Amino acid sequence: MKRFPIIAAGVACLLATAPLAYAQDAAGELPCDTGLYEISADHEGARANACRVFNPRGVILTIEPEDPPPINPSSWYGFHVRAKNANEQGTLVVTLRYSTSRHRYAPRTSIGGREWNPLPERQWLVHEDGRATMEL
C-alpha cells in the first residue's frame, strides 16, 4: 500500500485551482473516498470538519474554528491522505475552505508523522478569497 503524506496546519496545503463551480461548502463526512484516495482526520493533531469529493483527484475540505464562538478564528487543520492502490501515480488536489477566516499557516507534510517538512511553495496557493489549494 502506497503511503502519502500526513498534512497538518500550522501544518499543510496544495496548488492548482479547483474549478469555482466546485468551490462550495464541503458537506460530506470524513473520512472521504475519491475512489483513488482516502482522506481522513482521525489521527492525533488532525483537524478537518467536512469533505466534498469533486473528482477522483480532488477534494474540498471545510475547516471550522476549534471552539465556537471562535476565540481566535484562525482555524488550524490536519489530514491524512492514503492511496487506495499501492501503484497509484498522480496528483491529488486539496482545497481548504474556511468558514470564518482565511488560510494563514504554511503547509507541512510528513510520511510517518515524525519529521515534518514544508510543502514546496510551487505546490500550494492561497486565493484572494482566503481558500488554499495544494497539490500532493
The neighbouring-strand residues paired with 51 are 28, 61
Which amino acid does the sequence have at 109? Answer: T
Predicted TM-score (pTM) of the model is 0.75
Distant-in-sequence, close-in-space partners of 122: CB < 8 Å, separation ≥ 6: 15
Q: Are 2 and 88 in contact (CB under 8 A)?
A: yes
What are the structural domain ranges in the chain?
A: 3-135
pLDDT values of the chain reduced to their tens digit, one per residue, 136 residues: 444 555 544 333 333 333 333 333 445 678 899 999 999 988 777 888 899 999 999 999 998 887 777 677 767 788 889 899 888 888 999 999 988 888 888 899 888 778 889 999 999 999 999 999 999 9
Q: Pairing relation of β-strands 124-126 and 108-110? A: unpaired
Q: Which three cell numbers stand for residue 130?
A: 482566503
Q: In what order do the strands lie in the sheet with 50-55?
A: 50-55, 58-63, 93-98, 132-135, 124-126
CA distance 50 to 48: 6
pLDDT score at 30: 83
Grid coordinates given for 21:
463551480
Q: What sign does the dihedral 98-101-103-106 (CA atoms) show?
A: negative
Query: How big is the chain, counted in residues?
Result: 136
pLDDT for res 27:
57
Q: Which residue has the cell 478564528?
A: 73
Torsion of CA 41, 134, 120, 112, to 10 degrees: 20
